[in-house]
Amino acid sequence: MSEAPALDPGSFRDPKGRVFSRNGEIFRAVGPLGLEGYTRARDSGLLTELEARGWLVPSREIDGGSARAAGLDGRIVLQHPRLPFIAYPYEWPFPALKDAALLQLDLILACLDRGFSLTDASAYNIQFNGHRPQFIDVLSIQPYVEGEPWFGYRQFCEQFLNPLLLTALRGIPYHAWYRGSLEGIPAIDLAPVLRLRDRLSLRLLSHVVLQARLQRQSFADPSRAGASARKVRLTQGGYKAIVMQLRDWIADLQPAGSSKTAWVDYARSNTYSGAEYAEKRTAIAAFCAKVRPRMLWDIGCNSGDFAAAALQSGAGFCVGFDADHGALEQAYARAKSGALAFVPLYQDMANPSPSQGWNERERPGVGGRKGADALLALAIIHHLAIGRNVPLPDVVRWLVSLAPQGVIEFVPKSDPTVQIMLALRQDVFDSYNEQAFVEALQGEASVVASRTSSATGRTLFTYERA
C-alpha cells in the first residue's frame, strides 16, 4: 500500500521548496519562490555540469500528474536518490568538515562563472555519500545579481571556518561546541579564544576579530548595522577574490599539535598478536560475506580496518562511530584513499547526538537515524560498562537494538586494556564477566556462534535478534 508523503522535519527553513519522503524515495517540491531560479539554472546546463562532477546530488523531474496523485504539491517536483545515511557537521571529523568547506567554496566559484550564486552557505546542505561530500540543496543555486553581497558569508564562517580554526589554531575539538550551537560558532565567541599572535594575522583580523567587533556593534545598534549592511556592494571579481582567499587558507589548515591520540595506534599496537588480529579480521569478513548487509554500523570503528574488511567482503555501506579524533582522521583518510562506501563519524556512544533543533525533530539523534542491517561492536563493551559505568545488561540491550544481527566482542577483566582502565580506580564491577554478558545477550537475541579472538580471552559473539 502506498504511503502518504512525509515532510522532512528539517525542510521547513527553505521558502523555495519542501523535501518529502514517500515509500522510501526522496522528493523536492519546487515552490513559487524557487521556480524561476531553478529553471534558469537547469536550462543553463549548470546543474548537469555540477552533477557530472559529483558535486551536486542528482535530480530528476517527475511527471506532474504523478506527483499530484502522490500528494506532492509544486509546479515542478524533483526526485533525488536516497542517501545511505544523513550525518551532521558536528559529527564529521576535521578533514571531512574541511572537504565540505572546500566543496562549498568550489561550488560558489563554479556558479559565479556561469552567472549564478548560492543563497546561503549552510553546512547542513552538504552530505557525505561514502567518502565524497555532495551538495544536496539544488534550490540554493540562484541567478547572481551584480553588486549583491555574499549573503552566506557569515553563515560560512560560523559553520565551516570558525570550527576549523578552533581546532587548527587552539587544538580544541569543535564537535561538542558545534553540537550545542547548531548554527555554528560565531566570531564573537571564537575571538576571545584566540591568542595575541593569532590576532596579528591579517586573515584572522579580517574574518574573525573584525567580524566579532561588527557583531558587537550590531547588538548595540541593530538599525545602524542593518543600514550599513544594505549599503554594501560587492563586484563579482571581489566576490571571487574573497572565496578564493578562503579556499587557499582552508586548504592548508590542519589540526593543531599531533594527531597522536589515545586509540589512534590501536590497530597496530593493541593487545592482539599479528596472527590473532588477522584471524579477527577474517572472522568479520566471513560474517559479512554470509550476511551481506546493505547497511553496517561499526561501533568503535577506530581507524576503519574492520570496516574496510567488511566492505571488501560483501557489506554495501558502512557508518563508523568513534570518539577518538586521531583515529577518525585515519579512518577518513582510509575511506578517501580506498574510495570506500564508508562514513566515519565522531560519536561518544555514552552521550550520542540527541534529537534537537526546532521541535526536537529538525536534526534527529542517532536513535532516530537507525536502519542498520548488521552491527559490529568490537572492543567497545568495556569502554561503556567499565569506562562509563553503564550497567552491562543495558549496554547489551542498546547494542542489540541497533541492528537485527551482528558481532559483539566481549573483553574480560583479565585483558591488559581493562587492567589499565582499572589501575587508577576501584573495581566495583563484580557483575562484569562473560557469563553475565552471555545471559544478557541471550535475553535480547539468539547467540549464533562464539569465537575466542585473543589469548587474553576476548571472544566474538555473533547474535541474531528474533
For the chain, domain boundaries: 6-80, 89-251, 266-464
Q: Residue 263: pLDDT band by 50, 70, 90 thresholds? A: low
pLDDT at 429 over 70: yes
Q: Residue 259: pLDDT band by 50, 70, 90 thresholds? A: low
Between CA 130 and CA 42 the distance in angstroms is 26
Q: What is the pLDDT of residues 57-94, one digit of tens each?
A: 999 999 776 677 667 777 899 999 999 999 999 999 99
Residue 21 bridge partners (DSSP):
6, 26
Q: Is the dihedral of CA 417, 423, 424, 425 positive or negative?
A: positive
Q: What is the pLDDT of residues 84-101, one digit of tens each?
A: 999 999 999 999 999 999
pTM beyond 0.85: the answer is yes
Between CA 226 and CA 221 the distance in angstroms is 9
Give yes or no for a contact between 346 and 322, defined as CB atoms under 8 angstroms apart.
yes
Ramachandran sector of residue 360 (left: φ over 0; alpha: ψ -120 to 50; beta: rest)? left
Give yes or no for a contact between 112 and 41, defined as CB atoms under 8 angstroms apart.
no
Give yes or no for a contact between 105 and 246, defined as CB atoms under 8 angstroms apart.
yes
Give yes or no for a contact between 450 and 444, defined as CB atoms under 8 angstroms apart.
no
C-alpha angle 203-205-210 in degrees, rounded to nearest 5 = 130
Between CA 37 and CA 141 the distance in angstroms is 7
Between CA 248 and CA 134 the distance in angstroms is 20
Q: What is the pLDDT of residues 188-219, one digit of tens each?
A: 999 999 999 988 899 999 999 999 999 998 87
| Arithmetic mean of pLDDT, 28-38 | 93
pLDDT at 1 over 50: no
Residue 11's CB is within 10 A of a number of other CB atoms, namely 15
pLDDT at 326 over 80: yes
Average pLDDT, the chain: 92
Lowest mean pLDDT among 45-54, 401-410, 417-426: 417-426
Please report the pLDDT score of residue 226 as a whole number.
55
| Arithmetic mean of pLDDT, 19-43 | 94
| Arithmetic mean of pLDDT, 230-245 | 88
| Arithmetic mean of pLDDT, 48-58 | 98
| Arithmetic mean of pLDDT, 450-461 | 93
Please give the residue that has the higher pLDDT: either 248 or 263: 248
Please report the pLDDT score of residue 252 as a whole number.
97
Please report the pLDDT score of residue 217 as a whole number.
87
Please report the pLDDT score of residue 75 as a whole number.
80
Q: Residue 107: pLDDT band by 50, 70, 90 thresholds? A: very high
Give yes or no for a contact between 124 and 92, defined as CB atoms under 8 angstroms apart.
no
Lowest mean pLDDT among 3-12, 207-216, 323-332, 352-361: 3-12
Amino acid in the structure at residue 209:
V
pLDDT at 258 over 80: no
C-alpha distances (whole Å) from 439 to each of 364, 388, 450 are 32, 21, 13
Between CA 187 and CA 104 the distance in angstroms is 19
Between CA 345 and CA 332 the distance in angstroms is 9
Please report the pLDDT score of residue 349 as a whole number.
95
Lowest mean pLDDT among 1-5, 189-193, 232-236, 387-391: 1-5
Give yes or no for a contact between 35 and 102, defined as CB atoms under 8 angstroms apart.
no
Lowest mean pLDDT among 253-262, 312-321, 328-337, 338-347: 253-262
Please report the pLDDT score of residue 224 as a whole number.
62
Please report the pLDDT score of residue 113 as a whole number.
97
Q: Which residues contact 193 (CB under 8 A, 6 or more apart)?
A: 166, 170, 172
Please report the pLDDT score of residue 218 as a whole number.
82
No. of helices (H) and no. of strands (E), the chain: 21, 16
Amino acid in the structure at residue 164:
L
Q: Residue 301: pLDDT band by 50, 70, 90 thresholds? A: very high
C-alpha cell at 421: 582502565
- DSSP H helices, 252-360, are 266-269, 274-291, 305-312, 325-337
Please report the pLDDT score of residue 396 as a whole number.
98
Give yes or no for a contact between 131 and 336, defined as CB atoms under 8 angstroms apart.
yes
Between CA 273 and CA 277 the distance in angstroms is 6
| Arithmetic mean of pLDDT, 279-289 | 95
Task: State whether CATH 3.40.50.300 applies to domain 266-464.
Answer: no
C-alpha cell at 370: 537507525
Between CA 210 and CA 201 the distance in angstroms is 12
